[in-house]
Amino acid sequence: MKVLVTDPIDEAGLDRLREGGHDVSVADEAAGEKLHAAVADAHALIVRSGTDVTAALLRAAPELVVVGRAGIGVDNIDVDAATEQGVIVANAPEGNVRAAAEHTVAMTFATARSIPQAHSRLRGGEWAKGEFLGTELAGTVLGIVGLGRVGQEVARKLDGLGMELVAYDPYISAERADRLGAELVELDDCLARADFLTVHTPLTPETEDLLGDEELARLGEGTEAGYLVNCARGGVVDEDALAAAVAEGTLAGAAIDVFAEEPLSPDSPLLDVDGVVVTPHLGASTSAAQENVATSTAEQVLAALAGEPVVNALNAPSMDASAFPRVRPYVEIARTAGTIATQLFAGRIESIEVTYAGEIAAEETELLTASALEGVFEPLEWQVNAVNAPRVAEERGVDVTESKTRQAEDFRSLVTVTVGDGERSIGVCGTLFAGEDPRIVRIDGFRVDAVPHGHMLVARNEDEPGLIGFVGTVLGDAGINIAGMFNARETIGGEALSVYNLDEPVPDELLGRLEGDERVIEARYIAL
């Protein structure tokens, strides 16, 4: 498959993709129409922050399976548009955590001790020893906005220097913060108590311009003046407000590695303030980080192209790699049960219930439920998959529920997909025989033993002699061979259900001929 790389990544990642048997195409100069042409036949796209993955670009790539972001932030990727198109978006959040944290620590020291300014003055021939009075970190308060992976690593490193830690993060528990030695507080309290404030949040509509004039004025209210460090994402801090706060002495200094617009404009007010240290987005710029990010992204892409869970998928079900072998055999069972259920129901689906019984109930089942939804909607929607199936359900107003029980009657594990409209429903159950042989074992309460593959005919009929022979004759006259069959009934002479595995599809006129017999209640052709 073709993997298109449009931003520079370490060669180790490219080598890993080639070793996986894929055709790697590097087009880091492509833009506009050339970029759209390059991605037209790509199955995977790898970017950093230089490529904007827009809805238009995604529409230009009908074969695309996955977009890999070689880094953490995905604000340059239209994740909603990717989800609509069924494209996985994955990032590499671990690869540059250490590098970003270390750069944050370095920038904290740089602004606290005016290291770049003193260096510049000395290189210019000035021995300005008396003009730079630094601040020691030990004994001061570090405020952390965003206690995610990088924020936690920064907390560990600076806690070891004797700083008191306070943190603001609405998505983390107080217990987790406490284990890191940080007190979880509200943003206002974090600003008021901090001598140094370090930012580690993604850029979202909620965090854009999170720190403006008012917030910067509160930073370090209990001290002479505070310091701000941002090595996370540009746009979280109002750059004009920050430049003014340092220039006016509201803040003692700042160190910034990321900017709202990159490259930073020569006209930026940040460049005119001597107390602001700036670096050109170097947080992940270490050889180890670049290699880690590239190989991690490559692994995400390889997993997606192989149809395996993507550990760092942002818009698709994921799971621990160690758990996947136990769940993988049931992915196709869940999808097939959903496909059979929706084709048998033949009506407006308003609810879907996925039930797990037995050993499978103890596993992570998010991927299985998404696969079941994919099976339900696949006959109804173009290009539906496990990525966008949950959204399709939401858009259609379909109520999705999941339930688990450790009891599975006669089976070690059982996956049941039930579709309904509030008045009637139909359920299809699947399992594995001998650990790897998939079977459909129950349809609408009837016990069956059907191989879920190829062409199937499901017939409801009166339990009368000669009916199976009639069906066989009709199929035989049409030149359709029966590969296997199973018949189940409620009671002798009651209603029965028969499943036929066939070598050929069943045309509508043949179904009409079958249903023309008064003994046949319903005949449905299932395509798998």
Residue burial 443-467, b: 16+ Cβ < 10 Å; e: rest: bbebebebbbeebbbbbbbebeeeb
Phi, psi (deg, nearest 5) at residue 521: -80, -40
DSSP 8-state class, residue 264: P
- Say whether 281 is catalytic: yes
pLDDT surpassing 90 at residue 355: yes
Per residue in 249-270, pLDDT (tens digit) is 999 999 999 999 999 999 999 9
Q: Residue 463: its pLDDT value, please?
A: 85
Angle, in degrees to the nearest 10, between helices 324-345 and 366-377: 30
Active site residue 233: yes
Residue 256: its pLDDT value, please?
98
Residue 382 has pLDDT above 70, yes or no: no
State the pLDDT at residue 246: 96
Task: Summarize the confidence of residues 72-99 as an average pLDDT.
Answer: 89
Query: Which tokens hold the place of 393?
Result: 């359900």
Q: Is the pLDDT of residue 383 over 70?
A: no
pLDDT at site 133: 92
The residue annotated as part of the active site, out of 43, 98, 233, 460, is 233
Q: What is the reported pLDDT for 163? A: 97
Q: Which one, of 302, 293, 296, lies nearest residue 17 by Cα? A: 302
Regarding predicted confidence, which is higher, 325 or 44?
A: 44
Q: Is 474 left (phi over 0), alpha (psi -120 to 50) or beta?
A: alpha
Rounded distance, CA 379 to CA 332, Å?
Answer: 15
Return the pLDDT at 223: 64
Per-residue pLDDT tens digits for 142-181:
999 999 889 999 999 999 999 999 999 988 888 889 999 9
- The active-site residue out of 221, 262, 409, 490 is 262
pLDDT reported for residue 211: 97
Question: Residues 285-309: pLDDT tens digits?
Answer: 899 999 999 999 999 999 999 988 7
| Proportion of the chain above pLDDT 70, given as a percent | 98
Single out the residue of 206, 212, 166, 216 nearest to residue 189, CA to CA: 166
Instruction: Give 462's strand partners.
Output: 495
Size (the chain), residues: 528
pLDDT at 392: 81
**Residue among 182, 157, 160 at smallest CA distance from 172:** 182
Average pLDDT over residues 360-383: 84
What domains are there in the chain, each with its CATH number?
2-94+288-305 (3.40.50.720), 97-278 (3.40.50.720), 324-527 (3.30.1330.90)
State the Cα–Cα distance between residues 69 and 1, nearest whole angstrom.
18
Label residue 222 by pLDDT band (50, 70, 90).
Answer: low
pLDDT top residue among 240 and 527: 240
Tens of pLDDT, residues 11-51 = 999 999 999 999 999 998 888 899 999 999 999 999 998 89
Note the pLDDT of residue 435.
Answer: 64
- Cα 175–Cα 181–Cα 182 angle in degrees, nearest 5: 75
Q: What is the pLDDT of residues 419-432, one digit of tens each?
A: 999 889 999 999 99
Strands of the sheet containing 276-278, edge to edge, are 182-184, 164-168, 141-145, 196-199, 226-230, 251-256, 276-278
pTM: 0.67
Query: Catalytic one among 281, 439, 442, 524?
Result: 281
**pLDDT value at residue 437:** 86
Q: Are strands 23-26 and 66-69 parallel, antiparallel or unpaired?
A: unpaired
Q: At 441, which helix (H) or strand (E)?
A: strand 437-443
Is the model's pLDDT at 381 over the cut of 70?
no
